[in-house]
């Protein structure tokens, strides 16, 4: 046997040589991750060098372009590669959120289309990591019309799980999820998803530079971010190989979707409001309108429809409904964490009450009728206001158990687990801490574990604004936050959620194999019984019994 210089080698020498080569390769990974460089804050990506900063035991790289700015002719086009740069790119500050209006009197508006950037957070210490770390890609929520990666500090997850954590901005609302007859039919209503997929391809190509394992990527998201994870899971021809595990927090993967044609009606309203009604010139006309005018037209077209810009089924981007894809095994078959919050839709009842739409004993029936139509009498009998602390709490509980047109409900989460668990391991959960910090100002009724109330347990001081200035969690909640993130990051590492000293989280095999996250009460429980899914199955068998 000869080595690379042609010198004869014995087997012991060959073994020693292989050890040296492997150590050299490992050292190259470490150096690429910025560990043994003279300046560990500089990393070489495919498009050029980036300069981050050390903060709170992590290396942070913010505002790295993963696609070209979607301006002018690139508005409503597939994301295009970013231009390479010379020198060193300053990656110490977040870039602009994608265009959006302020919502609920708290979130921040943005009018900047140059927003397709991502952020990478890497654990930092003086000792190098001998192996590549798992990668977690976080997709933010915001009802498909708002939100930003800058709202989510990634250091807690990164240090808890010794993981590389990535977040990104993606086009929203009118610019990212709107369908219109003049758009490319393959991607109509799904350009935001293509932004996310472009970011995932960037992660796959650049993970090693940050010490991440391109063959161990977990995608995770909450609300619209969770629904986006669902859309990637059910589009295997587009996304297979881009991720290896999925975490869905309040997404409802098997919620029925509207078709591209149905959602195009909203897009046509937007075009009408800004004066772009001629079919032959509509696209050029829309591209000539200001961001502000389009956002305001989009809000007007949306009205009170919470899901006016939800993803559309029937394109290359989303070929099948979630139930059809998952139920038939036509999805990316990777392990999943799936679930949501006990009192999801009490949050939106609170928003309505704050806006002046009261819920009282006298108008409770009218609210139920509006949502459940011909089933109203049965629902009122099953959920009388007398069984709850207040009529708004009753209404929020009803919708959090099941609501057909909004995927934020516990019976639809269970149905996702039942279909997916036939093919992959699913770890089902309910976040049930009714003492979680308030997500909005006090609406005058009991909120509980509402939609998004788990986010401060993952992202300390999460406040739904770029200030990230919410108070620290109380001690009991901090303990559970550490347990939650231990489960999450263990799952990202090897597909099994484990937290030292905490109960075993078993894979979902039956209704009572659902994990409850509640301080001092962690463990399995019967979620179907808790959320009355037997009742809802009788009313909606086509959705909940296939």
321 classed as catalytic: no
How would you write the pLDDT of the chain (546 residues) with one tens digit per residue? 334 333 344 444 444 333 333 333 333 333 344 444 568 899 999 999 999 999 989 999 999 999 999 999 999 999 999 999 999 999 999 999 999 999 877 789 999 999 999 999 999 986 667 899 999 999 999 999 999 999 999 999 999 999 999 999 999 999 999 999 999 999 999 999 999 999 999 999 999 999 999 999 999 999 999 999 999 999 999 999 999 999 999 999 999 999 999 999 999 999 999 999 999 999 999 999 999 999 999 999 999 898 999 999 999 999 999 999 999 999 999 999 999 999 999 999 999 999 999 999 999 999 999 999 999 999 999 999 999 999 999 999 999 999 999 999 999 999 999 999 999 999 999 999 999 999 999 999 999 999 999 999 999 999 988 899 999 999 999 999 999 999 999 999 999 999 999 999 999 999 999 999 999 999 999 999 999 999 999 999 999 987
pLDDT tens-place string over residues 221-252: 999 999 999 999 999 999 999 999 999 999 99
pLDDT in tens, 478-531: 999 999 999 999 999 999 999 999 999 999 999 999 999 999 999 999 999 999
The whole-angstrom separation of Cα 507 and Cα 498 is 12
Dig out the tokens for 307 from the structure: 């899901």
The distance from CA 417 to its chain's CA centroid, rounded to whole angstroms, is 17
Separation of alpha carbons 175 and 171, rounded Å: 6
The answer to whether 115 and 169 have CB atoms below 8 angstroms apart is: yes
User: 182, 451, 453, 454: which one is catalytic?
Assistant: 451
- Which of the following is catalytic: 60, 113, 222, 344? 344
Contact 345, 399 (CB under 8 A): yes
Parallel, antiparallel or unpaired: strands 133-139 and 212-222: parallel
Is 180 one of the annotated active-site residues of the chain?
A: no
Give the burial class of 545: count Cβ atoms within 10 A of its Cβ; 0-12 exposed, 13-18 middle, 19 or more buried: exposed
Q: 3-class SS at 27?
A: helix
**Catalytic-role residue among 223, 299, 453, 490:** 223
C-beta separation of 454 from 470 below 8 A: no
Q: Phi-psi region for residue 173, left (φ > 0), alpha (ψ -120 to 50) or beta?
A: left
328 is catalytic: no
């Amino acid at each position: 046997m000869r080595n690379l210089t042609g010198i004869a080698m014995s087997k012991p020498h060959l073994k020693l040589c292989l050890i040296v080569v492997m150590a050299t390769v490992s050292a190259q990974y470490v150096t690429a991750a910025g560990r043994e460089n003279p300046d560990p804050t500089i990393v070489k990506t495919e498009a050029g060098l980036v300069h981050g900063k050390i903060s709170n035991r992590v290396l942070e790289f913010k505002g790295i372009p993963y696609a070209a700015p979607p301006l002018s002719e690139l508005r409503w086009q597939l994301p295009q590669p970013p231009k390479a740069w010379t020198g060193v790119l300053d990656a110490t500050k977040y870039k602009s959120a994608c265009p959006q209006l302020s919502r609920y009197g708290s979130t921040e508006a943005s009018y900047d289309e140059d927003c397709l950037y991502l952020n990478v957070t890497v654990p930092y210490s003086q000792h190098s990591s001998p192996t590549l770390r798992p990668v977690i890609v976080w997709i933010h929520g915001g009802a498909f019309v708002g939100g930003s990666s800058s709202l989510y500090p990634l250091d807690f997850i990164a240090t808890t799980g010794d993981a590389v954590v990535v977040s990104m901005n993606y086009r929203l609302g009118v610019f990212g999820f709107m369908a219109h007859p003049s758009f490319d039919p393959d991607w109509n209503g799904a350009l935001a998803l293509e932004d996310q997929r472009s970011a995932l391809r960037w992660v796959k190509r650049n993970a090693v530079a940050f010490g991440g394992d391109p063959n161990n990527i977990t995608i995770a998201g909450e609300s619209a971010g969770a629904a986006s994870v669902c859309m990637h899971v059910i589009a295997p021809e587009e996304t297979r190989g881009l991720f290896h595990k999925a975490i869905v927090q309040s997404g409802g993967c098997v919620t029925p979707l509207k078709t591209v044609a149905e959602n195009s009606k909203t897009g046509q309203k937007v075009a009408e409001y800004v004066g772009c009604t001629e079919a032959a010139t509509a696209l050029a006309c829309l591209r000539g309108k200001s961001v502000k005018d389009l956002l305001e037209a989009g809000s007007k077209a949306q009205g009170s429809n919470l899901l006016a810009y939800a993803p559309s089924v029937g394109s290359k981007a989303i070929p099948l409904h979630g139930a059809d894809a998952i139920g038939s095994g036509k999805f990316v078959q990777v392990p999943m964490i799936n679930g949501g919050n006990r009192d999801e839709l009490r949050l939106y009842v609170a928003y309505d009450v704050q806006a002046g739409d009261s819920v009282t004993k006298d108008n409770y029936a009218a609210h139920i009728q509006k949502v459940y139509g011909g089933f109203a009498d049965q629902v009122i009998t099953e959920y009388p206001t007398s069984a709850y602390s207040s009529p708004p709490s009753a209404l929020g509980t009803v919708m959090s158990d099941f609501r057909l047109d909004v995927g934020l409900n516990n019976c639809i989460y269970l149905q996702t687990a039942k279909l997916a668990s036939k093919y992959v391991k699913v770890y089902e959960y309910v976040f049930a801490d009714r003492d979680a910090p308030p997500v909005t100002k006090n609406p005058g009724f009991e909120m509980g574990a509402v939609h998004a109330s788990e986010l401060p347990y993952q992202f300390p001081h999460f406040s739904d604004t770029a200030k990230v200035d919410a108070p620290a969690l109380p001690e009991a909640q901090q303990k559970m936050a550490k347990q939650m993130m231990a489960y999450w990051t263990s799952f990202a590492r090897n597909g099994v959620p484990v937290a030292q000293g905490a109960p075993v989280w078993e894979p979902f095999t039956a209704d009572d194999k659902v994990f409850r996250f509640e301080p001092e009460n962690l463990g399995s429980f019967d979620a179907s019984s808790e959320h009355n899914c037997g009742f809802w199955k009788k009313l909606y068998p086509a959705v909940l019994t296939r």
